[in-house]
Structure 1
């Protein structure tokens, strides 16, 4: 419920702060006093687009704050989803700056206008004769039927399955799109993959081939060097090993004279062993080196193929070629296994569609069961609102599409007079009739679900005193379970309010300002008397006002 409204620098309002109680609140005032301004300011804080022309002082910002008690609205998920601090006393604030910049806040946290508007729609429902269009919308009409059918839990299940159904459809669509594109690329990718697979790509291969190529290309130089090295080591006269043998024998003669000489002899032996091993290894290497033009050509061909593949795939090394091969293998494999995936995805869609259809049928059955009850309730209530011949024809038809609220089209037709043809509400009902129908529907909804604060803006315009009295009774009954405001020019309606506020103008320092005040019992008597008989109140008007308020 709306507990407090603060407005600064908006239209004819300089600085206004008013607290509102629970129950049925009526707001009265002369035409042009500023009731629409008050409603306009409230609309701003509920998310309506800002208009710079609404600033009273063009050099100062406009601030509108509305405080709500939201404990019973179940809005915790909304606050969590939008990363906002939840507080049972929640404040919505809107600032309009002279520059034209607009800012919105929920509990002092900046929010977008869409978030503010979304929360505002859950907190306040403003209804006037000019805002009955929603009544003619299929979505709203189904909401009314669902409230009577107690379809809330079933709709939650349906929407959860619908989300899964749409996700399954997206997955299938993605696979089909991939298949369409992949088939075009499949042959080329298969060719590239075969090309890479025909080469034994493995880490270190390129280094091995390049080393082998260098050896085969320089075999003569290698053999010549190894032969020279063998001669240097093993020549009978001047070979290193021959001379080292002489050195060994010479040092052996003195090795017994001390540890130093024995160590020296040992080191010479070690060098001889190492050089002897080196000589043997060079013999082996020399035996393994041969002139092989055919192998040289093979290695050269393999290397060139590697270089060509790297250039073709813009790969820096063989590791990148291996990664490309694996990626191509995955792509080709996906296409080859795609039919099985598509079949599985199609089955998932069909399974979810079957569950969804079953839930949609249950929704339709529940709706059809309560439609006669809704028709009777509407017609009965409207007969007391000056529409005794009003009748409805409400029919459900199965739709081809799964929508957010089921698979039904609701045909909601109306006839105001006996013998008149049925037609769509928006085509055959007048503005006054639509207002009474909307009031009736809202009063029915109030019995079946928790509605936000309701503001009826002069919906009683143009109706008779007796009918306005009935409308006031309906609003008073609604206010027993919710907060209801009625902005009215009719004393019969104003008198039904538990609390009455008056909107008026006053001049201060040569400027006209809109004010609002809560009326005392005596002030209510005077206000109602003026509404009945004008400024020059007669005794009968005062007596009638007291009678309406049931005061002595």
Structure 2
């Protein structure tokens, strides 16, 4: 539920800090007074994209902030999922725009992407504006109404997962079929390239190993010279090598270890060094004896490297791993070509299997929707009759369609307001006032199935007057009794008089220019406002008396 709305430097609003209350509230004001500005500010909090022109002239930024009470709506999971602090009693949404073109969104002082704010906003407030009446011609909207009443979310999610699998299977079958067709056209060339890559006997890391061996063979004399020099120094002759001399030092110090404990550790370390150096000397000596120049081996290596370099240049790659990847791909293409009929049959069989599952799950949803359609027809009939349409008929038609992401049903709302008139699509035959009453009835019905904290109706009463307006107000009152806050922006006194809280939006001229303001009306101010709505700018005694009667004060 919306508890408080704060707006600073937004279009014609300097500062607005307004508290809101549970139940049914109304907002009135002359056309152009600024009601749409306030709605525009709320829409920004619901994640709507911002226009920097909305910042009040002469100001560097604007701020819109709203406080919500979520204590009765079990929404903690959303905050946990998005790593946002949760305060059920005071959830704060804030939007800041700067003249430099920056837009920032916050939930409980945590910066969030606009998409996150939009997702939360959709769970907090539903704003029904006049243009939403056009939704009655939208098949998706009508189907969504049926799904809400059917409460088929689990079945729909289950179907959509299966349908996504079917679409993936269709794409995979099409991809493989295209690859096979392309492959058949180029089979000889692909097979030649595949065989060429196989004949090269490529393995991972082979290029690095061959290049290292080639480098070694090309510098054999240099390597042998260095190894023999090192061997001479390490082993030497007649005990003059470093190894033998180190051994002698270790033996000498070891001899005095018993009488000089301080040197014992050094002697042991020298002994370890001797063992390690002896191993190194043996390794150097062995390498010096074994390494030799092999021109035939060098020729084989260079031939293999030349082949690798040639293949890399031919396929526009730089590593053996990439060549191996190409070889695998060509092998898969050839396997698909060789086994194309069997492979395609498998893919088609899998596609058909998933399609049948989709049909079964779609049929289940259709059954749920048909039951919901009957409920909707009964509810709408009852509500529309109460709104002054005694001869109304409302029908929900479900037509079969090809499987789609939302199932196999096309929904059409059929409507007739008069006797002996055939049912036709509601968007084609209903007048403006009738559409307003249909939409209010749908919203009231849906609100019973969806736990939405706040609903704002922006002049939903357009084209309605008299008793119908009073009955519309009663429906909004009824909606507000079910742990829900309903706010109606209206020009009709019959609706304004039904609100438990009455706000007025108006303009004033100040030294800084024209400003829009909003006040909560006292009982006396309400009487005058409703009397003015009844009679115009010249408020008569009769209008005041009528206003008091509407307010139940006499």
Flag whether TM exceeds 0.5 (same fold). yes
Residue by residue over 1:169-216, the C-alpha shift from the partner in whole angstroms, topping out at 9 and shown as x without a partner, is 44444444554555566544433443454466786789999999999x
Residue by residue over 1:376-424, the C-alpha shift from the partner in whole angstroms, topping out at 9 and shown as x without a partner, is 3223321222333332343211111322x21111132323333334433
- 1:211, 1:535 → 2: CA distance? 104
1:311 matched residue in structure 2? 309
- 2:431, 2:70 → 1: CA distance? 35
TM-score by length of 2: 0.73
1:38 matched residue in structure 2? 38
- 2:53, 2:216 → 1: CA distance? 84
Contact 2:444 2:476 in 1 (8 A): yes
Q: Map 1:467-482 to 2 at 5 A.
A: 467-481=468-482, 482=484
1:413 matched residue in structure 2? 414
1:103 matched residue in structure 2? 104
Q: Map 1:209-224 to 2 at 5 A.
A: none
**Given the superposition, is the C-alpha separation of residues 193 and 144 from structure 1 closer, same or farther in structure 2, using an over 3 Å criterion?**
closer
1:528 matched residue in structure 2? 530
Contact 1:13 1:513 in 2 (8 A): yes
Deviation at 1:359, TM superposition (A): 1.1
Q: Map 1:328-477 to 2 at 5 A.
A: 329-338=327-336, 339=340, 342-403=344-405, 405-477=406-478
Give 5+ residue unaligned stretches, structure 1. Answer: 216-281, 283-295
Q: Map 1:470-509 to 2 at 5 A.
A: 470-481=471-482, 482-509=484-511
- 1:516, 1:524 → 2: CA distance? 14
- 2:424, 2:397 → 1: CA distance? 13
Contact 2:191 2:334 in 1 (8 A): no
Contact 1:381 1:440 in 2 (8 A): yes
Deviation at 1:537, TM superposition (A): 4.5
Deviation at 1:459, TM superposition (A): 2.0
Residue by residue over 1:305-350, the C-alpha shift from the partner in whole angstroms, topping out at 9 and shown as x without a partner, is 52541232138xxxx9975675455334423544466554444433
Query: Which moved further from structure 2: 79-88 or 446-455?
Result: 79-88
Contact 1:10 1:56 in 2 (8 A): yes
- 1:540, 1:494 → 2: CA distance? 18
Match of 1:56, SS state, is: coil
Match of 1:313, SS state, is: helix
Deviation at 1:439, TM superposition (A): 0.2
Residue by residue over 1:257-314, the C-alpha shift from the partner in whole angstroms, topping out at 9 and shown as x without a partner, is xxxxxxxxxxxxxxxxxxxxxxxxx9xxxxxxxxxxxxx9x98995675254123213
Contact 1:183 1:335 in 2 (8 A): no
- 1:68, 1:100 → 2: CA distance? 28
Deviation at 1:469, TM superposition (A): 0.9
- 2:136, 2:382 → 1: CA distance? 18
- 1:111, 1:59 → 2: CA distance? 24
**Given the superposition, is the C-alpha separation of residues 439 and 213 from structure 1 closer, same or farther in structure 2, using an over 3 Å criterion?**
closer
- 1:534, 1:177 → 2: CA distance? 73
Contact 2:532 2:538 in 1 (8 A): yes
Greater C-alpha Rg: 1
- 1:12, 1:210 → 2: CA distance? 80
* Count of aligned pairs: 470
- 1:209, 1:512 → 2: CA distance? 87
